[in-house]
């Protein structure tokens, strides 16, 4: 496999990863809005933190 | 507003505040630039991308400081910051940049070999982001990073890292560990390209000796020692004897670079370039698993009650008492070891002599502290200050 193709695949995986992270972040935010359980609401909010930081390329 | 909505808002606001607080700290660390005052010996500052163009525009396109005496002699490369959570390494390298005056031959210094790793801290270890050292003109700040490059710069990791060219299997995250990626390759991931750039630099500048600085936990067997490639064994053995008998209270040993362990500078630089390679280790209690509070004090003073207790039970490979392993001691040992190795190299290869003046040895660093050897960037001419 050529180097250029390997680099392209690597980039696609990287962008896919960030898209997936954004998708999970949106799903968590949506669940936070929809849930009727206060404990679940707190849990969703806490879990959102690393997803937000990763989407913003901060950590 | 009902009770549930109130709880949701409070949770969302508190977590957003936490994310912001952490995010600001992470952002500050990733974007902080360390000033380096170019000393009287620095004749040129290059970028590593001059030797591997694919590094241009990446965080690992580090500065390469060249101190050329203008007189015939050999060339030595000093590498600091291979593992950014080992601060004595980049501090030692920077002391050479800010003070060294080569009288014969040429000195090349890299202070932040794996810059990417210095831009973030280790997950789950509560490392401080920065440490500050007092100087006569104020306090000077450096980033304390992680052992390996940041996943923000090199991702995804492979399931198993297959080292090039040996094909030895290594742990997945070691593809971001600069001292598992030698001799590197131009079409690899970021850290492999970084070591490839340095290997190309070694070849094209005709480097004779490469020294890679490190620190190690006291629980680790390779401690307070010089690890030497076959080409450098005589130098390491003589330096170890000289330093132990004349300068250091705690002896420095000498070990042979294992031939079957790949990716490390002491093995691959010697095998894949014309240079001889050496790696220095000094004790750093911050890295010990059994340490207590991990703060700036531990980074700089190297004192930890738990590590001392482990020493009493003979569980360590280096001695430690209530004085700990201060940064002055760690940096001083690295400087003296480097200068001693150069003296011996020059004695054995008179036509390739490398003479460096202007830098303190162990006793002077211990007496004055490392802060005495860094210069005020605000007082230096603008074109004599670089940033790592």
Smallest Cβ–Cβ distance between A42 and the set B11, B22, B30 belongs to B11
**Angle made by CA atoms B76, B77, B82, in degrees to the nearest 5:** 155
ipTM above 0.85, yes or no: no
Number of structural domains chain A divides into: 1
How far is the CA of B314 from the CAs of B252, B301, B310, in angstroms? 19, 22, 6
Is residue B196 a contact partner of residue B186, using CB atoms and an 8 Å limit?
A: yes
Nearest to B264 by CA among B239, B220, B227, B293: B227
B12 touches chain A (CB under 8 A): yes
Smallest Cβ–Cβ distance between B156 and the set A3, A13, A48 belongs to A13
- Residue B370 gets which letter from DSSP? G
| pLDDT > 70 in chain B, percent | 100
Q: How far apart are CA A48 and CA A52, in angstroms?
A: 6
Predicted pLDDT of residue B126: 87
- pLDDT for residue B3 is more than 80: yes
Predicted pLDDT of residue B342: 98
CB atoms closer than 10 angstroms to residue B250 = 15
Q: What is the number of alpha carbons within 13 Å of residue B242 lying toward its C-beta? A: 17
- Inter-chain CB proximity B26 and A52 less than 8 Å: no
- Inter-chain CB proximity B26 and A58 less than 8 Å: yes
Predicted pLDDT of residue B379: 96
Strand, coil or helix: B256: strand
Range of the domain at A43: 3-55
B20 touches chain A (CB under 8 A): no
Q: B6, B10, B11: best mutation site toward chain A, by most A Cβ within 10 Å? A: B11
Instruction: Give how far B193 is from chain A: nearest CA, Å.
Output: 13
- At B255-311, the pLDDT tens digits run 999 999 999 999 999 999 999 999 999 999 999 999 999 999 999 999 999 999 999
- Inter-chain CB proximity B15 and A53 less than 8 Å: no
What is the mean pLDDT of the segment spanning B229-240? 98
Q: What DSSP element (H or E) covers B36?
A: strand B35-37
How far is the CA of B106 from the CAs of B71, B78, B342, B352, in angstroms? 8, 11, 11, 10
A32 touches chain B (CB under 8 A): yes
Q: What are the boundaries of each domain within chain B? A: 42-381
Nearest CA in chain A to B150: A59
Using left for φ > 0, alpha for ψ between -120 and 50, and beta otherwise, residue B303 falls in: beta
- pLDDT for residue B125 is more than 90: no
Is residue B266 a contact partner of residue B278, using CB atoms and an 8 Å limit?
A: yes
User: Looking at the whole model, is its pTM more than 0.90?
Assistant: yes
**Residue A6's pLDDT band (boundaries 50, 70, 90)?**
confident
Smallest Cβ–Cβ distance between A56 and the set B7, B12, B23 belongs to B23
Predicted pLDDT of residue A38: 93
Tokens of B80: 């600091």
Q: How far apart are CA B112 and CA B93, in angstroms?
A: 9
**Average pLDDT of chain B, as a whole number:** 96
Predicted pLDDT of residue A1: 64
- At B4-47, the pLDDT tens digits run 999 999 999 999 999 999 999 999 999 999 999 999 999 999 99
Predicted pLDDT of residue B352: 97
- At B178-207, the pLDDT tens digits run 999 999 999 999 999 999 999 999 999 999
- At B59-69, the pLDDT tens digits run 999 999 999 99
Q: How far apart are CA B248 and CA B251, in angstroms?
A: 6
A7 touches chain B (CB under 8 A): yes
Instruction: Give how far B122 is from chain A: nearest CA, Å.
Output: 10
- pLDDT for residue B234 is more than 70: yes
Q: For residue B19, list chain A residues with Cβ-Cβ distance below 8 A.
A: 48-49, 52-53
- Inter-chain CB proximity A45 and B23 less than 8 Å: no
- Inter-chain CB proximity B12 and A38 less than 8 Å: no
Q: How far apart are CA B214 and CA B280, in angstroms?
A: 6
Predicted pLDDT of residue B211: 98
Q: How far apart are CA A50 and CA A48, in angstroms?
A: 6
Nearest to B191 by CA among B140, B139, B159, B153: B153
Predicted pLDDT of residue B218: 97
Q: For residue A10, list chain B residues with Cβ-Cβ distance below 8 A.
A: 156, 189
- At A38-52, the pLDDT tens digits run 999 999 999 999 999
At the topology level of CATH, where does B42-381 sit?
Aminopeptidase (3.40.630)
């Amino acid at each position: 496999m050529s180097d250029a193709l390997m680099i392209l695949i690597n980039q696609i995986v990287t962008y896919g990863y960030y898209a997936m992270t954004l998708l999970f972040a949106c799903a968590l935010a949506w669940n936070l809005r929809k849930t009727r359980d206060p404990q679940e609401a707190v849990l969703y909010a806490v879990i959102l933190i690393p997803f937000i930081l990763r989407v913003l390329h901060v950590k | 507003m009902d009770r549930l909505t109130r709880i949701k808002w409070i949770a969302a606001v508190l977590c957003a505040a936490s994310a912001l607080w952490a995010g600001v700290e992470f952002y500050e660390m990733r974007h902080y630039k360390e000033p380096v005052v170019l000393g009287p010996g620095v004749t040129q500052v290059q970028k590593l991308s001059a030797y591997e163009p694919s590094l241009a525009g990446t965080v690992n396109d580090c500065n390469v400081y060249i101190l050329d005496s203008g007189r015939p002699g050999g060339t030595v490369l000093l590498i600091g910051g291979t593992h950014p959570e080992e601060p004595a390494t980049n501090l030692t390298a920077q002391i050479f940049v800010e003070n060294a005056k080569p009288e014969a031959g040429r000195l090349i210094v890299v202070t932040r070999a794996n810059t990417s790793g210095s831009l973030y801290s280790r997950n789950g270890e509560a490392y401080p982001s920065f440490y500050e050292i007092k100087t006569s003109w104020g306090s000077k700040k450096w980033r304390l990073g992680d052992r390996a490059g940041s996943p923000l710069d090199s991702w995804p990791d492979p399931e198993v890292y297959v080292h090039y060219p040996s094909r030895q299997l290594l742990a997945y995250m070691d593809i971001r560990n600069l001292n598992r990626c030698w001799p590197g390759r131009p079409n690899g991931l970021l850290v492999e390209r970084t070591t490839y750039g340095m290997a190309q630099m070694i070849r094209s500048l005709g480097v004779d000796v490469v020294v890679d600085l490190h620190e190690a936990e006291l629980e680790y067997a390779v401690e307070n020692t010089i690890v030497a490639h076959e080409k450098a064994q005589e130098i390491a053995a003589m330096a170890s004897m000289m330093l132990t008998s004349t300068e250091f209270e705690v002896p420095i040993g000498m070990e042979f670079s294992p031939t079957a362990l790949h990716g490390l500078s002491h093995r691959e630089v010697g095998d894949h370039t014309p240079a001889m390679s050496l790696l220095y280790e000094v004790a750093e209690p911050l890295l010990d698993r059994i340490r207590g509070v991990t703060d700036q004090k531990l980074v700089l003073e190297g004192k930890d009650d738990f590590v001392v207790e482990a020493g009493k039970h003979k569980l360590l490979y280096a001695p430690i008492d209530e004085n700990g392993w201060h940064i002055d001691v760690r940096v001083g040992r690295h400087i003296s070891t480097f200068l001693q190795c150069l003296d011996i190299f020059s004695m054995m290869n008179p036509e390739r002599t490398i003479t460096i003046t202007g830098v303190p040895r162990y006793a002077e660093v211990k007496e004055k502290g490392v802060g005495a050897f860094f210069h005020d960037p605000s007082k230096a001419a603008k074109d004599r200050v670089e940033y790592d």
